[in-house]
Amino acid sequence: MKAKSVFLAAVAAMASLGLALSAGAYAQEKKLRVGFQKSSTLLILLKGQGTLEKALGPLGVGVEWNEFTSGLPMVEALNVGALDLSADVADTVPLFAQSAGTEFTYFLQERPSPTAEGIVVPSGSPVQGTADLKGRRLAVAKASGAHYLTVVALKKAGLVFGQDVEISYLQPADARTAFESGAIDAWATWDPFLATVEIGSGARKIDDGASTGVSYTRFYPISTAYLAANPEVARVVADELRGMGEWVKANPDEAARLQAPLVGLDEGIVRKGNERRSYGVAPVDGVAIAEQQKIADLFVEEKLLPKPIAVSQVPVWEAR
């Protein structure tokens, strides 16, 4: 009888252990699905060091990383339940998403970085300023921050977007090939792509946010449903992004050394791009929303958005 009791106790212990392991595995199945792209410096560094996983571990939350080549598909993925958090995207991206009926919440912003995007021409180009682009070809990614920069820069130079200048909508990889082969005369882009052609091929900047009054604020959109269900996860992510932004600015050389192999770029290119980004992560404020409305109104005026939108209709996370 004693042997039988020992056996039954052992079976019970093993069953309890199995249940505990199953419960632990189930807890770890809770995920934060994050989208990122090549310009997502803070998330790339958090991913590379496993920092976010460590910070969310006590909450029983794992992290799933999903790479995108552009910003708009990331925000659209929030709407269909494929992502929970989008990496930082340029100011125009949420506007195109909202116009298309995408549901999301403005989570965080990175404070303005006006020199981190610009219009460049080849080193030997006769073009000296944006006004000289009349009758020439310019490439830009549709719905990017550089898209807004291009509209404003051409308008300031007395040129009409899509009329006085031939516009080619190209993503960075294709645009760089076209730029370096001479298939286009100018390229409107952002860091690290901007720094890549400046250092790699001697491209010359003829305009940027500082000279046109374009602030270039980047935003972190988040799934409205995920945020409502996981406010504690949002607070942890906000703290980690804010801390990483401060660390990058305080340690530019170390940040470039760590980031360069993660994005496949030389340290000098990464460092130059990082110098021009603010990485000042903060809650989205009224100034940023007002600027978003200004951009939306201009894009409607230029018939780049199909209908007027009210930016204030999109929820904004309130940090507590």
pLDDT band per the 50, 70, 90 thresholds, residue 202? very high
Domains of the chain, with CATH numbers?
27-113+217-313 (3.40.190.10), 114-212 (3.40.190.10)
Q: Residue 29's pLDDT is what?
A: 62
Upper half-sphere CA count for residue 173 (Cβ side, 13 Å): 5
Q: Is the dihedral of CA 69, 71, 76, 79 positive or negative?
A: positive
Average pLDDT over residues 107-115: 97
The Cα 242–Cα 229 span in angstroms is: 22
Contact (CB, 8 A) for 95 and 305: yes
The Cα 136–Cα 304 span in angstroms is: 20
pLDDT tens-digit readout, 3-52: 444 434 443 444 444 444 334 443 446 999 999 999 999 999 999 999 99
The Cα 114–Cα 188 span in angstroms is: 13
Average pLDDT over residues 207-213: 96
pLDDT value at 303 more than 90: yes
The Cα 232–Cα 226 span in angstroms is: 11
The Cα 289–Cα 312 span in angstroms is: 7
Q: Residue 6's pLDDT is what?
A: 41
Least reliable range by pLDDT among 24-33, 91-100, 252-261, 272-281 = 24-33
Q: 9 by DSSP, 3-state: which?
A: helix
Least reliable range by pLDDT among 16-25, 32-41, 210-219, 281-290 = 16-25
The one-letter amino acid at 117 = E
Strand ranges in the chain using DSSP code E only, listed in sequence order: 31-36, 62-67, 89-90, 105-110, 117-121, 137-140, 166-169, 186-190, 204-208, 218-222, 281-283
Q: Residue 293's pLDDT is what?
A: 98
pLDDT band per the 50, 70, 90 thresholds, residue 319? confident
User: What percentage of residues in the chain have a pLDDT greater than 90?
Assistant: 89
Q: Write down the mean pLDDT value for the chain.
A: 91
The pTM for the full model equals: 0.88
pLDDT value at 211 more than 90: yes
User: What percentage of residues in the chain have a pLDDT greater than 70?
Assistant: 91
Q: In what order do the strands lie in the sheet with 218-222?
A: 89-90, 218-222, 105-110, 281-283
Q: Which residue has the higher pLDDT, 65 or 1?
A: 65
Average pLDDT over residues 91-107: 96
pLDDT band per the 50, 70, 90 thresholds, residue 70? confident
Q: Residue 14's pLDDT is what?
A: 40
